[in-house]
Structure 1
């Protein structure tokens, strides 16, 4: 627990700042371009490089490349340095070629993810995509640099680098608000406006990539192009990654269905489409990104080493500690999102070209996503058990089942719900999918390592929910009282968050301390110790 906690704390601090500045970035962009046609066009163009990155390298990094780098560092006479250089050479060549090809095919790619868009809306999406798609190469190079840093137990830079990207994007959004006369009107937006948004988005990723490369250089990595790629283990990587590509492809097919349905809903009910879904998803990722991603990043190299040494009991303990530590934060976070979602989104999005009702709608979607926070986070932790064994086949088959459930439920929501409720239905479909998928994945992973300390984890989760329910009740009481007398405005939302969220968080800490929940006591002890030394 202490090792995971220390590593997680380092990363969580950086991720917290990253997510907070990400909040500001999202708020500024939403104020600048809204959630109607231009907002939908930007979010589709912004999402495409992320999708292509996941398809090409994102999933392979955690499931294949990190374990292979760890093995090379342990077994190669040079500590894996030549192997790392070959991987970096391959990434630069392959991803640059993909970025060039993607820019050329931007119209076709946009059409793939939209629902019969025409006119200014499609033109804006295509133009933005051409400006944004080159970042695929920088995404990949930066991600590989971050993976190499993680295998050397250097976790800070990968968590802090996104802050630079967010700061660049905040500046871009503010500049757009100042210089553009179009606002959120897609019919009036100029090519210069789109260039500012698109090239500014790419510039943020370039800065993030450079920060990671510089950090890698500082820990002793020296890049030298190596074209003896046959020695990069491409055959083994290809065999292992086949199932990873299948997993990512299936997941992205499911995401494609969701995006198509969300954009279709936005055409029927402006403001209740893909942009609203995307903004709610980004906020949903905040607690998961701060704690779960930090713990996952620290867990995987250690679990891979334990598997290599045949120490399955250490894999079990690492996983159990990680789940309990993550749950101590995401259990109350999920409940608070379900209660305070609209108050949070009014503060973040209720400005500029966004109306209060648009912001409240995003909050309603966020409330539904709050249900998914615990099952989604646990599911992601479970996948790392398989990846530590080099097993990418099982996650791919699980993804296939998840995709079938998600697509079926999403289509049902699209066909049966009123247009303004479709995006909420998509979020609920996501929740049901990960509850079912997490249950199946737990059983399969438990068989792999001879148990996952399930009784201990279940007991801890039960105690955390018992401690968190009064927190949610307090937040709900504050929400009801303030909204009854003042409605949901910027000021009242701030009061609700400070009183409901702040006091609720303190109540959770107090009850957890009283119940002697060890994970919370460990976190509080670590923070107190660091403050004392400061």
Structure 2
């Protein structure tokens, strides 16, 4: 399959089109739902920035919210999903509905019990958890106390959102991608509502953010239950400790949990470093990270979501050719969309930050401190997204150990870079370390996939990359010219910023994809079908 210019279509082998799924269309659906979630997320962050700025209370909330999020990634979106989805796909394709229902029931029951215990421990041990995760807060008693209070309110969120991730894994395996992609919108809506209407009635207004997170977790779970019922897979409480599938998942979860723990430990160490830096450092990193989550969610998370079940099916069908071609398709899409996104984030850092957050208590200094973190993050955007594409290449084969070993190497490399960069670059050094560490992680994953013969690149990569580079060059020059200087954005009215930024987005996207079209690239080249 040549990407040099001629359109082509990769069709599912020995399957009629009526029984196949257009992955490009599925990606568009998931990305559109993710886009909606990100828009509401930016509205949420703009409300938080306007109402609370970047100070004691926002630092407290972001640390308190980070801890349950970390556990969510460990138990649900991380180790659990990596182990659960490939096994579930195997049951779905080989064992039939009844065995699949039993597996779902047994797994959901054990997950619920484990999360309930973790939640109770977290609520009781909140002071110790805060001290470990943000020791610098102990020097500021008020900040420490507020963080503990927020954590106790937020911690049950781990229970609800992990069950949401379980439901999402089931729905994704059955190609019901839109509903799981939409559910994060409810978290953002709940947090916005709490900040606007509950905050004025509380002694500490920022506590409303914690209650909003709790409500968001409950709403997300309630949304997915009817769709599980439609599939006949609504979990029932059945405790069975001898289920073969459960034990296979648990055996895979061991190394997966270790690997995800390593990745999350790196983020937690960054929070520890940031807690010793200037007040606002945690918030600056958070706001920059939120902007980074836009492309990583729109592309990395969305593409990883649809790739894992499809790769697992090709593995179950013993079809290495389709497996490799699917990875190649994902990597080309990643480069085509992630590289221009990274360039645009770096160039338009101040326009983006000022348009979204420069209101109320969010100061000029906050704008430029957040800009430093965002530019540093953008250097590693490609790596951050590629990890989400390459790692499923191992997870779908029920090989967790290889990504874990690579994660260990990445952890040590990231912390070494932290020590080198933080003294000179402060919070931006922490962001740079995360990005460069992700690039190292992605490079090692790709090398392993190639060396083990799992992924064989299709022809046309060299010319494909040259076309991408040329289009990025054209886009970057036009964006730099159209931005008209960073300082001007600090003096515009809100409507002017929105209108100008919207124009730049259209200019950037139009020039980039227009250049690719002139160079011979067409959307039809990226159509990819796979059997459901």
Please report the TM-score for the alignment, with normalisation by the length of structure 1.
0.90
Q: 1:406 maps to which residue?
A: 414
CA offsets 1:29-85 (integer angstroms, 9 cap, x no match): 122222121111110001110111222233123321001111122233425111111
Cα distance, 1:455 vs structure 2: 5.5
Using the alignment, how far apart are the partners of 1:379 and 1:131 within structure 2? 33
Contact 1:52 1:136 in 2 (8 A): yes
Q: Which moved more, 1:459-468 or 1:347-356?
A: 459-468
1:75 and 2:94 aligned:
yes
In 2 relative to 1, CA 197–232 (structure 1 residues): closer, same or farther, beyond 3 Å? farther
Correspondence for 1:166 among 188, 197, 221:
188
Task: Say whether 1:41 aligns with 2:45.
Answer: no
Within a 5 Å distance, the mapping from 1:252-267 to structure 2 comes to 252-265=264-277
- Report the Cα distance in structure 1 between the residues aligned to 2:456 and 2:305, rounded to whole angstroms: 19
Specify which of 508, 514, 531 is matched with residue 512 of structure 2.
Answer: 508
- Cα shift readout 1:193-248 (whole Å, capped 9, x = no counterpart): 35422122110111111112222223332332111231153332232221111101
Contact 1:324–1:519, Cα closer than 8 Å, also in 2: no
Q: 1:106 aligns with which of 122, 126, 131?
A: 126
Gaps of 5+ in 2: 1-9, 12-21, 528-532
1:196 pairs with 187, 200, 208, which one?
208
Q: Is the 8 A contact 1:32 1:177 kept in 2?
A: no
How many angstroms apart in 1 are the aligned matches of 2:137 and 2:473? 45
What is the aligned counterpart of 2:117 among 86, 97, 101?
97
Partners of 2:512 and 2:73 in 1: CA distance: 36
- The corresponding residue for 2:83 is 64
Aligned residue in 2 for 1:532:
none
- C-alpha displacement at 1:144, in angstroms? 0.1
Establish whether residue 141 from structure 1 lines up as the match of residue 163 from structure 2.
yes
Deviation per CA, 1:458-497: give whole Å up to 9, x if none.
Answer: 5433322211221111111122x35476755455643542
229-238 or 340-349: bigger deviation: 229-238
Contact 1:342 1:364 (8 Å CA) reproduced: no
Higher helix share: 1
CA contact (8 A) 1:57 1:140 kept: yes
Tell whether the 8 Å contact from 2:225 to 2:234 is kept in structure 1 after alignment. no
Gap change, CA 1:325 and 1:459, over 3 Å in 2? same
Cα 1:76/1:387, change in 2 over 3 Å: same
Residues 1:484 and 1:240: Cα distance change in structure 2 (over 3 Å): closer
Find the counterpart in structure 1 of residue 176 from structure 2.
154
Aligned length: 506
Matched, 1:229 2:241: yes
Other-structure match for 1:350 = 358
Q: Aligned-pair distance for 1:361? A: 2.1
Q: Which residue, 154, 162, 182 being the options, matches 1:132?
A: 154
Kindly indicate whether the alpha-carbon contact (under 8 Å) linking 1:32 and 1:176 is maintained by their aligned counterparts in 2: no
The secondary structure found in structure 2 opposite 1:203 is: helix
Cα separation, partners in 2 of 1:454 and 1:490, compared to 1, 3 Å: farther
Q: Distance in 2 between matches of 1:169 and 1:103?
A: 20
Q: Is the 8 A contact 2:57 2:206 kept in 1?
A: no
Equivalents in 2 of 1:499, 1:152: separation in Å? 39
CA contact (8 A) 1:30 1:353 kept: yes
Of 460, 468, 472, the match for 2:472: 468
CA RMSD of aligned residues (A): 2.2
SS at match of 2:362: coil
Aligned to 1:270: 279
Cα distance between partner residues in 2 of 1:483 and 1:213: 47
Q: Separation in 2 of the partners of 1:65 and 1:80?
A: 12
Q: Is the CA contact (8 Å cut-off) linking 2:328 and 2:455 kept in structure 1? A: no
Match of 1:217 in 2: 229
Q: Kindly tell me: are residues 396 and 450 of structure 1, through their superposed partners in 2, closer, same or farther at Cα, counting changes over 3 Å?
A: closer
Greater relative contact order: 1 or 2 (C-alpha under 8 angstroms, separation 6 or more)?
Answer: 2
Tell me the equivalent position of 1:186.
none
1:364-415 deviation digits (Å, cap 9, x = unpaired): 311221121112211221111111111110111100111011111112222x
Distance 1:297 1:131, change over 3 A: same
Q: Summarize the Cα distance change of 1:29–1:519 in structure 2 as closer, same or farther, 3 Å threshold.
A: same
Mapped contact 2:351–2:489 kept (Cα < 8 A)? no
- Partner of 1:526 in structure 2? none
2:443 to 439, 447, 452: 439
Contact 1:74 1:80 in 2 (8 A): no
- Partners of 1:142 and 1:128 in 2: CA distance: 22
For 1:519 and 1:373, how far apart are their aligned partners in 2? 23
User: Which moves more between the two structures, 72-81 or 10-19?
Assistant: 72-81
Match of 1:208 in 2: 220
1:338 aligned to 332, 340, 346, which one?
A: 346
1:117 matched to 2:121? The reply is: no
